[in-house]
Amino acid sequence: MSNMEQPLLQVRNLGVNFRLEGGTLFEAVKNISFEVPKNSTVALVGESGSGKSVSAMAVMRLLPRESAIVSAASEILFEGSDLLKLSDEGIRAVRGKDVSVIFQEPMSSLNPVFTVGDQIAEILCLHMGLSRAQAWRRAEELMHEVGIPDPGLRIKSFPHELSGGQQQRVMIAIAIACNPKLLIADEPTTALDVTIQKQILDLLASLQARHKMSVLFITHDLAVVGEIADHVVVMQNGEIKEKASAKQIFETPRDPYTKALLSCRPNVDERPMRLPVIADFLQAGGAARLKLEQRRRGYRDDDEIVLEVKNLSKHFRLKEGLFKSRDVAAVKDASFKLARGKTLGLVGESGSGKTTVGLTLMRLHESSGGEVLFDGVDLLKLSEADFMKYKRRIQIVFQNPYASLNPRFTVGQILMEPLTIHRLAAGNRQCIEMAMALLERVGLPEESFHKYPHEFSGGQRQRIAIARCLTMKPDVLICDESVSALDVSVQAQVLNLLQDLQDEYRMSYIFISHDLAVVKYISDQVMVMSDGDVIEVANSDDIYLNPQQEYTRQLLGSIPRGWQGN
């Protein structure tokens, strides 16, 4: 594409610094250049902190003015004119009309007090100079175009009345309302379920082709990139590591970092003993993809059963009006067995009740029925005092490592708290020693003991949360979306850690996730849930190769497969 046409967007020598507290500067984007050709999709890929979103926001000039400094040498040429040199007035005319954005969280990007029709019509009145009636008519057409059923009715809905996928469709409708030449999509599918993600990706691809616009697609997920992008820009720590066509990136990646990103994400087709991590690739100097020993998974008949759940159910009571209330079933009659040293994967879309199962069986929610047999004892029927003994044997690692650690506790306090509560250590000295040993086991330096959680990265925090559970030597560890919030490379490290710990201590895991590839990688058995119902339980290889139920098939079909070599 070096020939003929001038690209739609040229970013040249873009540098962005952030002014931190105390006057120091942080280089978020270091002198990068890339192009977005006309009528094509360019993906900006990188992990958190890579500067991908900052670069995109710089194009729209949406960076916070007080703290962000765009270096003087930077040029952002849109159809030949430099966006950085435009007046405030000028850039406002470009925003929303020639260049528009979709953000990650549709719910927080839409204004909750206006109907979706109002919000689509607003931009039409602003940029296209339509009258209100015309704008509403056009809004209805747009809603039809982005695939919202019954747009005539839905146009008067408020955002909360729509599902997450529909909200994102409304966001897309707003973005394409003025026929933009460039659409910036900032992680538009990250917050959505996998089936919805597929629909949105398909929609974006079809809109791109129909409107002949260009899309700058920002994501951390290479599998998604493979589905949608023509060109890929890989970023790390504010620098561009590699830019090439999608074909080249996926088939003959040159940079070790790109290679690492491609292989540290678990793949549904293989299951190595350990996931490769970025360090492996950087050390190997970017050797060809390593051939790895495969791990065998699955329950065997002679497995010792640690935990047996029979007909577990949970209803939530919703208040309706003053006196009425309505029961909503979050989990209906779930039954499964967990073997020692094995992993049960729990998959399902949001609202399927998978997290509720985890929380109910360790009594963080009160159950509405059923039995949880652990060592032959029904945990649900024990008194609070009797349950205390069992509490430490079933532990949980939560999704968000930023929220699950008390910000006012040092890591030492966090690790020593369970030891003191359950009186597992004799004296303070032993307590400290045990905590230190665990820190080392999960791969954190000793100094961590005196630090606060906010001084750690997401992956390190998740290690702390895992170490906290390990203090109690649990038999069962529930991982509730424990790696979902982490970057791919960190995700691989934490998954490896979990696997090592399982091999070492013969712990059993209940691994709850919406990420089917990760579940496939780590689970022996998989339980598929939908709307509180258990759809299917089977050994993980069986379920992925030969799903018995229609829903499972549909779910598996939506997994982004990455580059399929077209």
Partner 1 sequence: MSAVLTQPHPSRQRHSPGLWTLAWRRLKRDRVGMLCLVVVAFFLSLMVASYLGIVAGNWSNEVGISYANPLFLAGEENLEAAHMGSSASAAHIPVADLSAVDPLAPRYREWEERTARIQVTETPRAETLLLGGDKWGRDVLQKTIKGAETSIFVGLTAALLATIIGTGLGGLSGYMGGRIGDVLEWFYNVFTSIPYILLILSFAAVLRQGLDTIIFILACTGWTGIYRLVRSEYIKHASREYVKAAQAIGATHTRRMFVHILPNVSHVSLVQLSQHVVQFIKAEVILSFLGLGVPVDSVSWGTMLAEAQTELVIGKWWQLAAAGVSMAILVTAFSMLTDSLRDALDPKMK
Q: Which of these ranges, 144-152, 328-336, 407-415, 558-566, lies near partner 1 under the rule CB under 8 A?
A: 407-415
Q: Please, which residue, 2 or 24, has the CB nearer to partner 1? A: 24
CA dist 404 and 461 (Å) reads: 9
CA dist 165 and 167 (Å) reads: 5
Rounded to 5 degrees, what angle do the CA atoms 85, 89, 92 make? 90
Q: Which residue among 144, 412, 484, 541 contacts partner 1 (CB under 8 A)?
A: 412
Interaction of residue 212 with partner 1, rule CB under 8 A? no
Nearest approach, Cβ of residue 437 and partner 1 (Å): 5
Nearest approach, Cβ of residue 470 and partner 1 (Å): 7
CA dist 269 and 249 (Å) reads: 20
Nearest approach, Cβ of residue 494 and partner 1 (Å): 17
Residues 2-61 that bind partner 1 (CB under 8 A): 21-22
Nearest approach, Cβ of residue 550 and partner 1 (Å): 35
In the chain, the amino acid numbered 425 is A
Nearest approach, Cβ of residue 22 and partner 1 (Å): 8
Nearest approach, Cβ of residue 464 and partner 1 (Å): 11
Residues 303-362 that bind partner 1 (CB under 8 A): 359, 362
Q: Please, which residue, 362 or 529, has the CB nearer to partner 1? A: 362
Residues 420-479 that bind partner 1 (CB under 8 A): 421-422, 429, 432-434, 436-438, 440-441, 446, 449-450, 452, 454, 465, 468-470, 472-473
Q: Please, which residue, 174 or 359, has the CB nearer to partner 1? A: 359
Give the H or E element holding residue 522: helix 516-522
The answer to whether the beta carbons of residues 518 and 549 sit under 8 Å apart is: no
Nearest approach, Cβ of residue 563 and partner 1 (Å): 36
CA distances to 67, 119, 380, 404 from 25, rounded to whole Å, are 9, 38, 55, 30
Q: Which residue among 142, 278, 396, 516 contacts partner 1 (CB under 8 A)?
A: 396
DSSP category for residue 236? E
Given the structure tokens 């720590």, which residue do they identify? Answer: 237
Residue 179 three-state SS: coil
DSSP letters, 315-370, are: EEEEEETTTEEEEEEEEEEEEEEEETT-EEEEE--TTSSHHHHHHHHTTSS--SEE
Nearest approach, Cβ of residue 566 and partner 1 (Å): 42
Angle between helix axes 488-505 and 256-264 (nearest 10 degrees) is 50
Interaction of residue 364 with partner 1, rule CB under 8 A? yes
Q: Which of these ranges, 186-194, 217-225, 262-270, 417-425, lies near partner 1 under the rule CB under 8 A?
A: 417-425
CA dist 257 and 285 (Å) reads: 10
Please, what's the b/e burial string for 433-471 (b: 16 or more CB within 10 A of its CB; e: otherwise)? ebbbebbebbebeeebbebbbeebebbbbbbbbbbbbbb
CA dist 496 and 272 (Å) reads: 10
Site string for partner 1, 491-510 (x = CB under 8 A): -------------xx-----
Nearest approach, Cβ of residue 396 and partner 1 (Å): 5
Q: Report the side by side order of strands in the sheet with 377-378.
A: 324-339, 305-320, 369-374, 377-378
Q: Please, which residue, 300 or 454, has the CB nearer to partner 1? A: 454
> How many residues touch partner 1 (CB under 8 A)?
47
Contact positions vs partner 1 (CB under 8 A) = 21-22, 359, 362, 364, 388, 391-392, 395-396, 398-400, 403-408, 410, 412, 417-418, 421-422, 429, 432-434, 436-438, 440-441, 446, 449-450, 452, 454, 465, 468-470, 472-473, 504-505
